Amino acid sequence: MHQMLQPKPLAAQLKSISLFLLFVMLLSSCGSGRYLSRGDKKFGEEEYERAIEYYKQGLGKANNPGEINYKIAEAYRLSNRLAQAEPYYKAALDGNFKKEDGFFYYGLALKANGNYEEALNQFEDYLRLGANPQLKSKAAREVENFSTLSSILRKAPRYEIQNLEALNTDASEFGPYVLNDDLVFSSTRGPGKAYMGNGEGFIDVFATTLTDSAAALGGAVRKFEGINLEGMHDALATFSNEGRTMVFARSNEGTKKGRQNVDLYISHFRSGAWSEPELLKINDPRAWDSSPAFSPDGKTLYFSSDRKGGLGGNDIYKSTIDGSGRFSTPENLGPSINTPGNETFVSVGPDGTLYIASDGLPGLGNLDLFRVENGVPVNMGQPVNSPGDDFGIFLQNENTGFFSSNRDGGKGGDDLYFIGRTKRKQVNFFVDGSLFQLRDGARQRTLVADHTVVLQDEKGTRLSDIKTDTKGQFTFALDTASTYFLIAEKPGFFTARQRITTVGKMPSQDQLTDDETEVRLTATLVLNEIVKEKAIVLENIFYDFDKANIRPDAAEELDKLVQVLNDNPSISIELSSHTDVRGSDVYNQDLSQRRAESAVEYIISKGIDRSRITEKGYGESRLVVKNAKTDEEHQRNRRTEFKVVRIQE
């Protein structure tokens, strides 16, 4: 017995410690593995919220954190919480888990959080490196859509919005519809069991009485009678026939197969109650059919579906209704409305204008709201749209309505917002331009069709680009009180650049007669052919008598040459200085050389590489006006020129 109390030899102690540590590691690994296995099981069953919980529990002790972070990110994405996925995609990529699709989805998550530049970089990288043709096509569309982002951001706000704080909860509220004196909406608020796809409750349809003030909305909220079933999603009710016919969306009982399936149901208000909802025959049993909306006259039902034969994810369809209440075969609204992305949450204004939410059209985040004008969806701009999901708009009239958003600053997942037209009269600025090219020796310049023109801000950031039309014309939308540069490039020609500004051009409100006014500026860009060894005079380069230092007025002109060199990085030049005949040859030669050197040193101080520019003083050896007599003629001889001496291929 006493032998058990004696100290063990050192080797035996180390062996015991090693075995103990191995045992602890095995236990830890088993614990982590158990959580990850459970997470994978729930992920496969599309119970993404439960999967996320298990993954996070096992993450700290996992030996493959990059892969687990990626699974968490995917679970957030697949449960429509893309913004929350961003840090987990980043952690996965930083953890060297380089799953190719992750680069694309990380870009979408960045975009959903308003990190536009980083998102664009991800999409451009995916275009270069990705192999999935479907995702490459989507990435190309995202890159193309980014070219219009600046014009959307510069739109003058047409609406004011207000969060319905008294009505919204920490659950989700969305899909507003005004029926008589009630605001009807969909919500995951309880009571009831949670839906493990996203951790919120099952969706039901609710109603509350409208008030005179949007801020006061939030009185008694009741479940809409006759359609809500326990353990199923019931949502997005739309009405016709003076509120006596209702169509809404319903999922089935919550099995894996069922979660894939959402269908449209119809009910009629008879004898003071809603009839038992019936499945509409226009549903496709293999597809997701949802977000219904009647036209104001009740003769057309619009809805969203991912049925076979569409243009992408979810498309907008319509079905007409005859006098007997029969629905026609659904018709896809076509490529002018639908994209390879998702178009959904359709609604129709009182004047028949169609509104949709889309993630395939150029926008600020995932889903943006669009108004269909002349058959073309037009982004509704800020503050209606945001980097988050903005969807489900319902307009009571041309001035007021409601919509849904999960943007930052809300109370829950999705919130309801009031929307009203701004009372301030709007001014929209545009620049209409023409692009020409002028070849050396040509008598006339010619218009350049189908050529890219770039809009930059004052700091040189590329904001947008556009192709000239068949007549060499182009147009950009501009912001108020801002300065821009229009730029066009073409091999063999000097880059064309023109400054344009809206500063000081805003009319006062009392000058405006219409609710919306356009102010159109004009611009002319000319691409001049580069000809080696052809001298180009720099105007207004003046020096003090008998001096070679750069005066402020000369510096302003030399800055223009610096811009030419920055815009045309492939050219190298000789800068030359010339004098008139007054003074001795030797003196003039020395003075012109010193002036040329002074000008070159100034240009180099602005960041131009010394190897791209040489200086030469010619004195009075190259007179433009021989036998000059007047001061004006002498001034023409006293000039500074540059010429292109080398073009790097």
What's the mean per-residue pLDDT of the chain?
A: 87
Name the pairing type of β-strands 571-578 and 613-619: parallel
pLDDT of residue 316: 97
Domains and CATH numbers, the chain: 28-152 (1.25.40.10), 172-421 (2.120.10.30), 426-528 (2.60.40.10), 536-647 (3.30.1330.60)
Rounded CA gap, 526 and 532, in Å?
19
- Angstrom CA distances, 392 to 2, 281, 464, stand at 81, 24, 29
- pLDDT category of residue 98 using cuts at 50, 70 and 90: confident
Model confidence over 100-126: pLDDT tens digits?
Answer: 888 999 999 999 898 988 999 999 989
Mean pLDDT calculated for residue range 449-462: 93
Global pTM reads: 0.67
The residues facing 521 across adjacent strands are 431
Burial status of residue 631 (CB atoms within 10 A of its CB: 0-12, 13-18, 19 or more): exposed
Rounded CA gap, 55 and 62, in Å?
9
pLDDT of residue 215: 66
Model confidence over 41-82: pLDDT tens digits?
Answer: 988 888 898 899 989 988 877 788 889 999 999 999 988 888
- Helix axis angle, 100-112 to 65-78, nearest 10°: 50
Rounded CA gap, 574 and 564, in Å?
13
| Least confident residue range of 108-117, 118-127, 228-237, 474-483 | 228-237
Helix (H), strand (E) at residue 447: strand 446-447
Model confidence over 179-216: pLDDT tens digits?
Answer: 998 999 999 987 767 676 666 778 999 999 988 777 66
Percent of the chain with pLDDT over 70: 92
CB neighbours (10 Å) of residue 181?
Answer: 9
Mean pLDDT calculated for residue range 129-142: 88
CB 562 within 8 A of CB 606: yes
Instruction: Identify the CA nearest to 259 among candidates 279, 237, 292, 231.
Output: 231
Residue that is written with structure tokens 């996203």 in the block: 198
